[in-house]
Structure 1
Amino acid sequence: MLKEVIVAGVDEAGRGPVLGPLVIAGVTIDSSELPSLCEKGLRDSKLLSPKKREKLYDLILNLAENYKIVILSAEDIDEGLSRFTLNSLSVNTMIDILSSLENWSKAYVDACDVNAERCQRTFRNRLREAIIVEHYADKKYPVVSAASVLAKVVRDREIQKAHEEFGIDFGSGYCHDHKTTHFLIDYLNEYGKLPRIARKTWETSKRIVRSFQQTSLKDFFSEPEIDGFVKNEETGADY
């Protein structure tokens, strides 16, 4: 018999970057514990400092009934995009996470589709009706804020590990970060290939490789800024 007070939240971190993993987290918490987390500063992870996120991470895990965190590496993403859109890859993973978390009476999910209602129908058809999928759910529902913190902390830790592995601060991993693009260019010049943490299917990666092949990397920065998404990955919905 389900405990009516147990709620689930799911969110992701690292959807857009050209470097590093996409991390998706799900957590179940007794709803009576959420006010105390909010009093301790729980909110959407993007509004918190790294230090605050780390503190909340430990508090959330201590209070959680259950949780699951999935790290999709750059290689996982590239392989997945040979079969699905990015939205479908996220949705499938989120559904798997919710399926593995037991004894929740209601779930809240931050929508990863431009059409939140369509996304919600997919979750309800494949799981159950008691699922709310909305844009900005990480700002509206504390349990989603908790999942957001878990996902963001794990992604930040993975990026820090990569900084140490490659011996360089390559920035945030986002396409607009010049530290990131310079790292990709320098690595490609030195090794003749992109690093394993690069998402090869991202337009930024493709442009850098094209420029390298044409021996004109200097032209890279004269091209218009792009957001890192392949268009049909951003809006597709072949769930």
Structure 2
Amino acid sequence: MVDGDGLGIAGVDEVGRGCLFGPVFAAAVVLSDQAAAHLQAAGLTDSKALTPRRRAALVPLIEEHAQAWGLGQSSARAIDHYGIRTATEQAMLCALQRLPSRPQLVLVDGVLPLRLWAGSQRTIVRGDSSHAAIAAASVLAKEARDALLRRLSHRFPGYGLERHAGYGTAQHRAALLAAGPTPLHRHSFLRKLFATG
């Protein structure tokens, strides 16, 4: 996971923040300038702009060329208990703690600072489009979460988790209204659905 002694700048991003089901995932990635250029030449950009096939192909390249990387997640239960922002920050902190040493600077995608991080940080709006380390983190988090949701779709059939990854699509909402939520749904996110449904 690490090449060399010290870590410079880590990019951090999350995925699944707006889902109705399952955990929120985060990843932290440290890239050298050379690795960033190599990955961008291979097509690295914001995970939302990539096809599933391209994202999957980038994962082993990121894992091979990154100085370090780590993954973290917060469960649906934690989201219900602490709220989505705190749970997302816990997932990001977990990803950073999985790095072999503390980075000098953390680049956080978005506008909200990582309140749980005591070190230096900078928030960057649309950072996953402008910073390779954040883009790499978005790819790793997205692929890890999607893989988990595909596995969970076998445990909870009928909700279409393998297709929408837990987001509130019409199919997902219809299944919720017909069958009710599973233990891994974010019950705090469903109050409005069931109140109006």
- Is residue 136 of structure 2 the alignment partner of residue 134 of structure 1? no
Partner residue, 1:74: 76
In the alignment, the residues of structure 2 paired with residue 100 and residue 159 of structure 1 have an alpha-carbon distance, to the nearest angstrom, of 22
Give the counterpart of 2:33 among 31, 34, 37.
31
Corresponding position of 1:197: 184
Is 1:104 the counterpart of 2:103? The answer is yes
Other-structure match for 1:89: 87
Change (3 A) 1:91 1:72: closer
**TM-score, normalising length: structure 1:** 0.71
Aligned to 1:206: 191
Q: Secondary structure at the match of 1:69?
A: strand
SS of the residue aligned with 2:188?
coil
Tell me which moved more, 157-166 or 133-142: 157-166
Please state how far the C-alpha of 1:52 moved relative to its aligned partner: 0.7
Taking every aligned residue pair, what percent have the same amino acid on both sides? Answer: 26
Query: 2: CA distance between counterparts of 1:164 and 1:100?
Result: 29
Correspondence for 1:183: 175
| Alignment-derived partner of residue 214 in structure 1 | none
C-alpha spacing 1:206/1:103, structure 2 compared with 1 (3 Å): closer
Equivalence map 1:136-175=2 (5 Å): 136-168=126-158, 169-170=160-161, 171-172=163-164, 173-175=166-168
Shift of 1:88: 2.9
CA RMSD of aligned residues (A): 2.3
Supply the AA of the counterpart residue of 1:23.
Answer: F
Query: For the residues of structure 1 that align with 2:57 and 2:65, how far apart are their CA atoms?
Result: 13
Query: Which of 1, 8, 11 is the equivalent residue of 1:9?
Result: 11
Contact 1:10/1:108, CA 8 A, preserved across alignment: yes
Offset of residue 109 of structure 1: 1.2
- Unaligned 5+ residue runs, structure 2? none
